Structure 1
């Protein structure tokens, strides 16, 4: 457009010069400077109109009327209702894959805190070839129901390593019981006996229940209660909270085996199958 303006200006200059020369040779000038300018402006206007007429037209964008489009979409879906099923399945697969990727990333980032924390409770074979981690709350009914599953696995599998993570999320009583449990874990008393006693007790598990179970193992309830506020106790429980937050763990029981986070009490058979797959292919579900 800039080049066109320059060309039109040049034409106007030539016309003005030619008209000026012609006027100088006329005996009686009938056209003055104002008339010349008018002629030049007319030429410019005609050239601009010609350029506009020959310029490529702007592409037109068709507007979509929802009143027309929506019935078409509805008709398409009604003609093949399974489209929605396929979309739903594809969405679930995508979300599941994304969640698995996030979980594996978080598991790798928190690997040492999950599997090698110095203050964690280890049952079974400390050198076992497969590790089962359980996050639990002493007032969790599902954890109570899953206790026999864990007992069976420990008894039948000499190469299984079990790590227990205190994860008190259900009540303040659960937190008090977990504090006592951490102290029992720091002692020479049998943690499994303490653990089993709390899950087989009646009613809500609180500080008094936990202290009584510890006393049955030969520990002083007075000393334990005085130590419940120690920073080391809070640090152990806080460590479980941090791991759970990073992995998206929000309930109990939750298990970790290899590359998989398993929410809920899935039963001994499912746990056995995943442990067997870990030994066979290094993952909880072999292809």
Structure 2
């Protein structure tokens, strides 16, 4: 392979990084001719340096590449197949997604017991379901509030789904107080989902008093709950959620875990159903077509 061809290959990679775009997320930016020329010159200089260094132990000298010769070749190469940058961008996205899935798989495996078997967590739906959906939420999260109907629909329509709710109060001290009450409600013999819906349909900020009132509507003693809010087991349950979130790099709510995928944001009922169906079909949230 000639030096010109080698440089072409290297520069295509540089150009792809500079002007490539994610076909999944955003359009290509406008080409900056001056920036392109600067990168071409830099690549040529780097290539020449490497060749000169290699030539120090070689019997024959290496001639420097002439930009006037190389630049038209690069332009001709790219213009002959303008879609090459698009294909490289798609390949890059595929590689990055595979790396993300691999990292998520490793992180989830390291925290598997805490994610799926924590004694303080709330389990809804079928406790022996064939697919488990985990949600990290904050009672003052507007996106979590909007996603409650999605969870209600899944509970109603999918008898083989296991849902785990993880208290992840990150928005305010009021959220922490509400989460402490919620942990205690989760340990009581009452309908937790009714409590959950009551908090998310509250018209005011969800705080300790809102949570205590919702618990009282289920027949629990607000006084007893308030006295137990600072119990060690309550703090441990919430702390476990924080530890899982740190290990999995979860920083917002809602965040879902299905199989080996960590899904940030309220993705909607249809997307959740698709991922659950894929888990049943191929054991992954994204099946190969």
Normalization by structure 1: what TM-score? 0.73
Instruction: Mark the runs of 5 or more structure 1 residues left unpaired by the alignment.
Output: 1-55
Q: What whole-Å deviation, never above 9, does each CA across 1:164-204 have from its counterpart, x for those lacking one?
A: 00111222221111111111112222211110100011121
Separation of aligned partners in 1, 2:206 and 2:75? 56
1:117 paired with 2:94, answer: no
Aligned-residue CA RMSD in angstroms?
2.3
**Structure-2 residue corresponding to 1:232:** 233
**Structure-2 residue corresponding to 1:279:** 280
Separation of aligned partners in 2, 1:77 and 1:211? 66
- Superposition map of 1:114-153 within 5 A: 114-153=115-154
**Structure-2 residue corresponding to 1:17:** none
What's the CA shift for 1:222? 2.4
Separation of aligned partners in 1, 2:234 and 2:256? 22
- Superposition map of 1:203-222 within 5 A: 203-222=204-223
**Structure-1 residue corresponding to 2:160:** 159
Structure 1's 88 and 286: CA in aligned 2 closer, same or farther, altered over 3 A?
closer
1:106 paired with 2:107, answer: yes
SS at match of 1:133: strand
Q: What whole-Å deviation, never above 9, does each CA across 1:20-54 have from its counterpart, x for those lacking one?
A: xxxxxxxxxxxxxxxxxxxxxxxxxxxxxxxxxxx
What's the CA shift for 1:281? 2.4
What's the CA shift for 1:279? 2.0
Normalization by structure 2: what TM-score? 0.72
SS at match of 1:60: coil
The total of aligned residue pairs comes to 232
SS at match of 1:279: helix
What's the CA shift for 1:151? 0.8
SS at match of 2:171: coil
Separation of aligned partners in 2, 1:226 and 1:70? 75
**Structure-2 residue corresponding to 1:179:** 180
* Larger Rg over CA atoms: 1
Separation of aligned partners in 1, 2:113 and 2:173? 28
